[in-house]
A and B are shown apart, each in its own frame.
Chain A
C-alpha cells in the first residue's frame, strides 16, 4: 500500500506493523488523540513510511471469530496529518484496508469489519468506504472489502 505526499503528489510505500513496547513512550495523546497505553490488551498496529520510524497512524481492533468479524476500536492519524493541511493522504484508508485484509485472512467470504463511530463522521465512512449501516454499527462485508483491497492494496 502507499501514501500520497500532498506537497508533490508523490507515492510512498507504507508499512503497517505491530506497535511495540518502545512505541508507547512516543504515543502521546497530544499527537495521537487517544490513550494508546490503555489499549494494550488489544491488537495495535502502527503505520509508517517504509524504512522510516515516524508513526503516522494507528489502529486498535478486536478479532471476534465467533461472529466472523473484526471490530475496530480506535483509529487515528497523527495530528499533522489531519484536515486540509495534512502531509500525507490515505493513512486512514491504509489502516482500514489492513484490518480488512486481516479479516479476509481469518474468515474469507464471511469476513466483516465493523465500526461504531460517533454520529458526525458516520456519513464520511459511508460515502468513502461504502459502509453498510445496521442500527448504530457500520460495517464492510466481503463485497466492500474486495473493493477496498482492490483500491488500496497496491504497490
Chain B
C-alpha cells in the first residue's frame, strides 16, 4: 500500500483507529517542541501541589511494578530505596511518617538505611498506609510492599550464593531419604 492510499483510508474512516503523528522535519520537531515547552512551563507554575504528589506516587508505583517484572539479582536495597521515595513524596520530614505509623524515628531510620530488617508488623502498617495514600490516585495492591521485600530477599540470597553455599552444602544431604538409593545409583 502506498502512502497516499494509507492517507485515503485514514481520511475516510472513523478517527479512533489510528494517527500518523510523525514530524515532517527536524526543524518542525524543534520548533513545535519549543512552543509546547513554553506553554507547559506557564501551566506548571499554577500546578496544584496535590497533583505533583499524585504524579510522584504514580511514578513510584510504576517503577515498583517494573522492578517486580525484572529478573532477580538487580538493584540492591530496592525495598529501602522505594520506601525512602514513598516517605519523601508524602512528608517533608521522615519522623512525621514514623509518627503516623506509631514507630520510633530510630526504627524507621534503621530500616531506611538497611541496618534493620522490617518486621511483619511494619510491613502491614505500610500496606495500610499505602492503601490510604493511593486511594484517590490509582489501584495499589496490598501485596506490593511484600512483593518488593521478598523480591529483594531472593535477589540478595542469590547474589550472595558463593558466601553461604559452601557452608550450607556441608550440612545438607538426602542420604536418609527414600531417594538415597536412587541417588547412589
Contact = CB atoms under 8 A, between A and B. Distances in A.
* Genuine A/B complex: yes
A142 B47 contact: yes
A114 interface: yes
Nearest to B43: A141
A63 interface: no
Nearest to B24: A116
Interface stretch (A3-11, A19-27, A43-51, A131-139): A131-139
A109 interface: yes
Interface residues of A, number: 55
Contacts of B22: 73-74, 116
Contacts of B20: 34, 74, 117-118
B18 A67 contact: no
Contacts of B55: 104, 108-109, 111, 142, 145-146
Contacts of A118: 7, 10-11, 19-20
A37 to B, nearest CB: 13
A136 B15 CA distance: 17
Interface in B1-46: 1, 6-7, 9-11, 13-23, 29, 32-33, 35-37, 39-40, 43-44
A128 B44 contact: no
A54 interface: no
A108 B52 CA distance: 8
Counting contact residues on chain B (CB < 8 A from A), the size range is 35 or more
A115 B59 contact: no
B58 A149 contact: yes
B17 A77 contact: yes
B54 interface: yes
B138 interface: yes
B62 A101 contact: yes
A98 B60 CA distance: 16
A132 B36 CA distance: 10
A128 to B, nearest CB: 7
Nearest to A93: B16
Contacts of A125: 15, 19
Interface of A: 29-30, 33-34, 64, 67, 69, 71-77, 81-84, 86, 92, 101, 104-105, 107-112, 114-118, 120-121, 124-125, 128, 132, 134-137, 139, 141-143, 145-146, 149-150, 153-155
21 contacts: A72-B21, A75-B18, A76-B18, A83-B13, A92-B16, A104-B58, A108-B59, A109-B44, A111-B55, A112-B40, A118-B11, A121-B15, A124-B15, A134-B39, A135-B35, A137-B32, A146-B55, A149-B58, A150-B137, A153-B138, A154-B139
